[in-house]
Amino acid sequence: MRIFSKLYQKALDWAQSKYAIYWLSIVSFLESSILPYPPPDVILAPMSLKQPNKAYYYALVCTITSVLGGLAGYFLGEILLAFLLEYSLIKMTMVDTSKIWFDQYGIWFVGLAAFSPLPYKLATITAGTVSMALLPFILISLLARGARYYLVAFLIRKFGDQADVWLKKHIDRLGYVLIIIVALGVWYVN
CA-based nearest residue to 77, from 121, 24, 133, 12: 121
- The pLDDT, as a whole number, for residue 89 is 63
pLDDT tens-place values along the chain, 190 residues long: 677 677 767 777 777 788 889 989 998 999 898 877 677 887 888 888 888 899 999 999 999 999 999 999 999 887 876 776 676 666 777 767 767 777 777 788 889 888 887 788 888 888 888 878 899 999 999 999 999 999 989 988 888 778 777 777 777 777 677 677 767 666 665 5
Alpha helices in 89-133 (DSSP H): 92-105, 107-115, 120-129
- The pLDDT, as a whole number, for residue 18 is 86
- The pLDDT, as a whole number, for residue 69 is 95
State how far the Cα of 163 lies from the Cα of 47, in Å rounded to an integer. 14
- The pLDDT, as a whole number, for residue 182 is 63
Alpha helices in the chain (DSSP H): 3-14, 20-33, 41-50, 55-79, 81-86, 92-105, 107-115, 120-129, 134-189
- The pLDDT, as a whole number, for residue 30 is 92
Question: What is the reported pTM?
Answer: 0.77
Q: Is 96 exposed, middle or buried (0-12, 13-18, 19+ CB in 10 A)?
A: exposed
- The pLDDT, as a whole number, for residue 17 is 82
